Every structure is written in structure tokens, then in C-alpha cells.
Amino acid sequence: MADKNKKQKKVILVEDNPAIIEIYTTAFKIAHINAEFITLGREAIERVKKIREGKEEKPGLVFIDLILSDINGIEILKEIKGNSKTKDITSFILSNYSPPDFQKTEQIKPDRFILKTSVTPTQLVKIVKEQLN
């Protein structure tokens, strides 16, 4: 009972493909996962800054797509992992682009890299639940 009342942490997905957003929205809704989609990279960076300033709550998990319409997802990852106030936010790269060499990107690495085609929405829900619990 206590678990049910406990507010579940939010999952943020930085994703710009409408079909993928629709699929994950449906899957997360059925699984009662509190998910928010951010479609622009710069908007995501603004969100990270607000979290750093304490104006927004820290999410339980962030999924970042590498190829976005405005900036590269790595920039968002740098914004999260490059600051002591946000580096503890679990951040996964969820992309259809092969993993870049993170060693070259100033020691900034995601907590996990997931190839989008390799996971079904059901599997992604399972990953989220494992992470949030």
C-alpha cells in the first residue's frame, strides 16, 4: 500500500521521432510509468539546467537519442554527467546510431547504451522498471 502511494520518479525520453514517441507513450501508459518526452535537444539542456538550479525535480531515468533535429544527444549527456549536481542522474543512450567512442568524449559516458532496434517496447518497460526499483 505504501509502495502504491509512493510517487514514482519520472522518466524523461529525449526523442524526436513521432512514431517512436507514440509507441513508447502507449507502452509506458499501460505499464503506469510516468514518462515525459522532450523532442528538442536544446529544450532538454534547459531542463537539465533547471534541475541543477533546483527548479525541477530530478528524474529517475533519462533516455537520450543521439540524432536529434537540433543538436547531438552527446551534448545533453555532457550537460548531465559533466556537473556534480546532475551527474548521479541515470542516463541511457537509446539510439539507432551505433555507439560512439565515449572515451573520446572527455570521459563522459552514459550509464548504458541501448540500440533502439534491439529492444521492443515490452523490453524497454522491463528495463525502466528494473532501474526505477
Partner 1 sequence: MEKVEKIQGAKIGRPGYINENCWLVKNLNYSPYNRCQHCDQKFRNCLFLHYQTISLALILFLLVLSFLIEGKISKLIIISVFTLVIVYGYFFNKSTDKIIKANFAQREAKEALEELTKNLQKKVDEQTKEIRKAYDVEKGARMELEALGNAKNQFMLAIQHHLRTPLTSMNGYVDLLLSGAYGKQPKKTKDVIEKFKNSTGKLIKMVNEFLDITQFQLGKKVVSLRPGVEILPILDDIVKDLVFEAESKGIYIKLNKPEKTYIIEADPEKLKLALFNLFDNAIKYTQEGGVNIKLQDKDGKLQIEIKDTGIGISQENIKNLFGRTFERSDIAKRTFATGRGIGLYISSQIIQAHNGKVWVESEGEGKGSTFHIEFPVEEK
- The reply to whether 36 sits near partner 1 by the rule CB under 8 A is no
* CA–centroid distance for 48 within its chain: 11
What is the size of the binding site for partner 1 (CB under 8 A)?
29
- The reply to whether 112 sits near partner 1 by the rule CB under 8 A is yes
CA-to-CA distance for 48 and 42, rounded, in angstroms?
A: 10
Tell me which residue has cell 531542463: 47
* Minimum distance, C-beta of residue 53 to partner 1, in the bound complex (Å): 31
Q: Which residues pair with 42 in a beta bridge?
A: none
Rg (alpha carbons) of the chain, rounded to whole number: 14
CA-to-CA distance for 92 and 85, rounded, in angstroms?
A: 18
C-alpha cell at 108: 563522459
- The reply to whether 107 sits near partner 1 by the rule CB under 8 A is no
For partner 1, the closer CB: 42 or 100: 100
* Minimum distance, C-beta of residue 30 to partner 1, in the bound complex (Å): 6
Q: Which residues pair with 64 in a beta bridge?
A: 14, 93
* CA–centroid distance for 98 within its chain: 17
Residues 5-34 that bind partner 1 (CB under 8 A): 17, 19-20, 23-24, 26-27, 30
Footprint of partner 1 (CB under 8 A): 17, 19-20, 23-24, 26-27, 30, 67, 95-102, 110-118, 120-122
